[in-house]
């Protein structure tokens, strides 16, 4: 059964319909990458998937249970959300921020125990940030902060992770680093849905791609089937050439996208 799915989803802010007739589902262990132009509704779609926003019609299901019938605590135990824009008013330590991920597993008057701290340290180690545990969260770089937020989401021990442009504002190396971690997480059985502005990221790191434009999906399927020149032209409105590279260290021929010169 699909770990998370949307059937015939439609969402609107008042009169303005953001998307309509959207179907998607992923299994545990799969990475779905949603591509689309600025303002096409990628983030709104993600916010519907974790129940922050309510669909106008259609349904979001977690393991077959409708999300509108679950309370936010049980949703938070199964779906983690890595936010894009982020500012913290207080310089909490990295470890403290990651420990916040334990909130859905604690009672209203509870606070993290030694066991929760161990989990937080374990997931910090998974993303390679354990040595930063006592640093103020406000004084680390954007890439490091993204890793900490991913660790916090892992501390929730969810089945599904939703990521809103996890590579935005990151340099080349950190983009690759984050996406490798995403792939590693999927291999441990977690389902990942992320949005991105880079078709290359979808080609290199995802199992499924959804191309979003004009209030719906233009294409949904494997990267090879979906990321083709006519689809990219429709989504981004410019000519794009998809190149095939044989001598990569990916163990298979890979494809990358090149925008046209004019």
Partner 1 sequence: MSKRNVTILVIAPLGLLLASMFIGRYSLDFVTAMQAFGLRFFSIPADIPDTVNSVLFNIRLPRILMAMAVGAALSVSGASFQGMFKNPLVSPDILGVSAAAGFGAALAIVLDGNAALIQFFAFIFGLVGVALAYLISRVYRTTPALMLVLSGVVVSAFFSALISVIKYIADPFQKLPAITFWLMGSLGDVAGSDLLLALPPIIFGTAGLLAVRWRLNVLAMGDEEARSLGIKTEILKGFVILCATIVTASAVCVSGIIGWVGLIIPHVGRMLVGPDHKALLPASISIGACYLLVMDNIARTAISAEIPLGILTAVIGAPFFAYLLRRTKGGWQ
Interface residue list for partner 1 (CB under 8 A): 50, 52, 72-77, 79-81, 83, 86, 88-93, 96-97, 100-101, 103-104, 106, 108-112, 136, 138-139, 156
Distance in Å, CB of 168 to partner 1, minimum: 17
* Minimum CB distance to partner 1 smaller for 129 or for 202: 129
Kindly state the smallest distance separating residue 127's Cβ from partner 1, in Å: 18
Nearer to partner 1, 83 or 242 (CB): 83
CB closer to partner 1 out of 3 and 203: 3
Nearer to partner 1 (CB atom), residue 50 or residue 174 = 50
Nearest distance in Å: CB 189, partner 1: 21
Task: Collect all residues with Cβ–Cβ distance below 8 Å to 110 and sequence separation of at least 6.
Answer: none
Least Å distance, CB 122 to partner 1, is 18
């Amino acid at each position: 059964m699909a770990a998370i799915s949307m059937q015939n989803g439609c969402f609107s802010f008042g009169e303005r319909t953001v998307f309509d007739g959207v179907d998607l589902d992923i299994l545990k262990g799969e990475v779905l990458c949603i591509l689309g132009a600025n303002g096409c509704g990628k983030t709104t779609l993600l916010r519907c998937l974790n129940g922050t926003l309510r669909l106008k019609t259609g349904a979001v299901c977690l393991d077959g249970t409708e999300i509108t019938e679950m309370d936010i605590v049980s949703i938070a135990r199964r779906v983690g959300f890595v936010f894009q824009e982020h500012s913290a008013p207080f310089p909490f330590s990295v470890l403290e921020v990651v420990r916040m991920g334990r909130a859905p597993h604690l009672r209203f008057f509870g606070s993290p125990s030694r066991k929760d701290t161990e989990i937080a340290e374990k997931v910090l180690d998974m993303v390679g940030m354990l040595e930063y545990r006592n640093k103020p969260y406000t004084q680390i770089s954007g890439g490091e902060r993204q890793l900490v937020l991913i660790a916090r989401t892992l501390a929730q021990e969810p089945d599904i992770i939703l990521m809103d442009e996890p590579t935005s504002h990151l340099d080349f190396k950190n983009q690759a680093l984050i996406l490798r971690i995403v792939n590693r997480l999927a291999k441990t059985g977690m389902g990942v849905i992320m949005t991105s502005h880079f078709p290359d990221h979808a080609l290199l790191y995802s199992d499924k791609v959804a191309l979003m434009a004009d209030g719906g999906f233009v294409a949904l399927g494997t990267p090879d089937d979906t990321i083709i020149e006519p689809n990219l032209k429709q989504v981004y409105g410019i000519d794009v050439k998809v190149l095939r590279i044989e001598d990569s260290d990916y163990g298979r021929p890979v494809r990358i996208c090149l925008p046209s010169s004019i």
